[in-house]
Amino acid sequence: MNVSVSFRSLSCVAALTVMLTACAGKKEDEYVERPVEDIYNSAVDALLDQRYATAAREFDEVERQHPYSVWATKAQLMAAYAHYQNNRYDDAIVALDRFIQLHPSNRDAPYAYYLKALCYYEQISDVQRDAKMTELALRALEEVVRRFPDTAYARDARLKIDLTYDHLAGKEMEVGRFYLKRGHYIGAMNRFKLVVDKYQTTSHVPEALHRLVECYLALGLTEEARKVAAVLGHNFPGSEWYKDTYYLVETGKLPDTEEPGFIARALRSIF
């Protein structure tokens, strides 16, 4: 009995030793020194084949095996690009921050800043979600314009900044509508005024002015409502929002509404 137990114990130890040896051999086999050109070309091939995870690993391998070669710097940036293409934006941003820190005056630094901005920009979600990512994208895009104003990257960044502002304005409008629907007129007005003052070049301004008219009328502030309506008519005379605003101020109800709402009932005592 003891001999049998001892034999089984020795067998287990032997099997475990073989497994550990095999694992150790496998780890050793993972590092295979290769010419830098071969690794880099392999990474590019993987990138072209849309095998982005493999491409990122191969570009990292360039730097790992040949950290002082001229290929290593380019590989850092290309690894970040592979992560970006693979929608691994956090990994791309980490790689780009490292590239910028190590090579601030590199000829590809403008692209690194631009790609970092794109990583944030691509993560902008719908207006019903947190606007934090939109704000990060805006700051990164503005940094591209500030640092490299005469580049093609800055020209594209300016276009994306306009879209980013529009997205931020949309978020404020969404919150303002929420307050307005629930009768929290002061909170709603603060949101709509912010859109008019801070995001005055966005597509949301006509509606923001219209909603301000709604808020003022609901509070019985007729003169203020008329002033805002005049601003809307002067700046956006052909807007559908102005037509609705004019109709609202004149009749006390919105177009195509069968029953007057709270605003209309309030206006009855004013006009």
- 124-135 burial: b if 16+ Cβ within 10 Å, else e: beebeeebebbb
- 50-83 burial: b if 16+ Cβ within 10 Å, else e: ebbebbbbbbbbbbebbeeeebbbbbbbbbbbbb
Per-residue model confidence as pLDDT tens for the chain (271 residues)? 444 445 455 444 445 454 555 555 445 446 678 888 889 999 999 999 999 999 999 999 998 989 888 899 999 999 999 999 999 999 999 999 999 999 999 999 999 999 999 999 998 865 555 678 889 999 999 999 999 999 999 999 999 999 899 999 999 999 999 999 999 999 999 999 999 999 989 999 999 999 999 999 999 998 999 999 999 999 999 889 989 898 888 877 666 544 444 444 444 443 3
Q: Do 213 and 181 fall within a single domain?
A: yes
188 contacts 215 by C-beta, under 8 angstroms: yes
47 contacts 34 by C-beta, under 8 angstroms: no
> Could you please report the per-residue DSSP string of 26-43?
HHHHH-----HHHHHHHH
Which domain-ending residue is among 119, 140, 168? 168
Determine the length of the chain: 271
Which domain-ending residue is among 168, 199, 230? 168
Q: Do 200 and 146 fall within a single domain?
A: no
Specify if 93 maps to a domain: yes
Specify if 19 maps to a domain: no
Range of the domain at 94: 36-168
Specify if 241 maps to a domain: yes
8 contacts 14 by C-beta, under 8 angstroms: no
Q: Do 129 and 163 fall within a single domain?
A: yes
State the pLDDT at residue 51. Answer: 96
172 contacts 207 by C-beta, under 8 angstroms: no
Q: Do 154 and 260 fall within a single domain?
A: no
Q: Do 219 and 233 fall within a single domain?
A: yes
State the pLDDT at residue 7. Answer: 43
Q: What is the distance between the terminal CA atoms of the chain, rounded to a whole angstrom?
A: 107
Is 245 buried (19+), middle (13-18) or exposed (0-12) by CB count in 10 A?
buried
Specify if 29 maps to a domain: no
Is 13 buried (19+), middle (13-18) or exposed (0-12) by CB count in 10 A?
exposed
Specify if 40 maps to a domain: yes
CA 262 to chain centre: 39
Total number of domains constituting the chain: 2
Backbone angles phi, psi at 157, to 5 degrees: -60, -40
How far, in Å, CA of 166 to CA of 204, rounded? 7
* Degrees to nearest 5, angle at CA 127 with 121 and 133: 35
Residue 259 tokens, joined: 């029953």
How far, in Å, CA of 56 to CA of 61, rounded? 9
Q: What's the CATH code of the domain at 229?
A: 1.25.40.10
Which domain-ending residue is among 113, 141, 168? 168
